[in-house]
Structure 1
Amino acid sequence: MALLLHQPAAQALEPHAQRGYAFLQANCARCHAVGRAGGSPLAEAPPFRTLHERYPVENLAEALAEGITTGHPSMPEFSLDPGQVDDVIAYLKTLKK
């Protein structure tokens, strides 16, 4: 139930961002906080709302497409198709606001 409390309002997100949120919720929320509040379930996994503090989220597009191989020790290696990359970046941009 707690995950639902931190879910962004669907009507507030554009379709790309909605799909990006859904992807992150399904694939990353086990370790990372993917919403605007709350801590990451895995301490060494940074909350996604802080990624823009480290670098422009647009710069993540290439890493998402080619496959992220770094991160926290238990992070699986994966890559996204171009549409998924656009969706995830669109959602991450909403977290800067």
Structure 2
Amino acid sequence: MKRALVLASLLISLPAAAQTVQTGGALAVRWCTACHVVEASQRLASDSAPSFRAIAARVDTTAATLDRYLSTGHTLMPDFSLSAQERDALVTYILSLRQKP
């Protein structure tokens, strides 16, 4: 019975996670493409800003480090004043780009 409940909760959360990735991708296209390559089909946006795939591939990139970075102002990145939900969606999108071994 417990296994069925766990499996059911995982299946219910899959569409929500996919929606969060989709929302984060839309935010990235809207706010980040001027400097970052956020999609594989996009051309190089800037020599100084890493692609989202490169950010995701870093071993020190975690949900917590991304959230912290997006929560504080930086001179190299404009302050978009993202809400907590927007930050979560953007973090989820970036981490979704991490290559699976």
Matches within 5 A, 1:1-97: 14-36=18-40, 38-54=42-58, 55-58=60-63, 59-64=65-70, 66-71=71-76, 75-97=77-99
**Length-normalised TM-score, structure 2:** 0.67
Distance 2:33 2:68 in 1: 21
- Measured after TM superposition, the shift of residue 30 of structure 1 is 1.4
Aligned residues: 81
Which one has the largest radius of gyration? 2
Q: Tell me the C-alpha RMSD between the 2 structures.
A: 2.0
Q: Which runs of 5+ in 2 are unaligned?
A: 1-16
**Length-normalised TM-score, structure 1:** 0.70
Give the percent of matched residue pairs that are identical in Structure 1 and Structure 2: 28
- Measured after TM superposition, the shift of residue 82 of structure 1 is 0.7
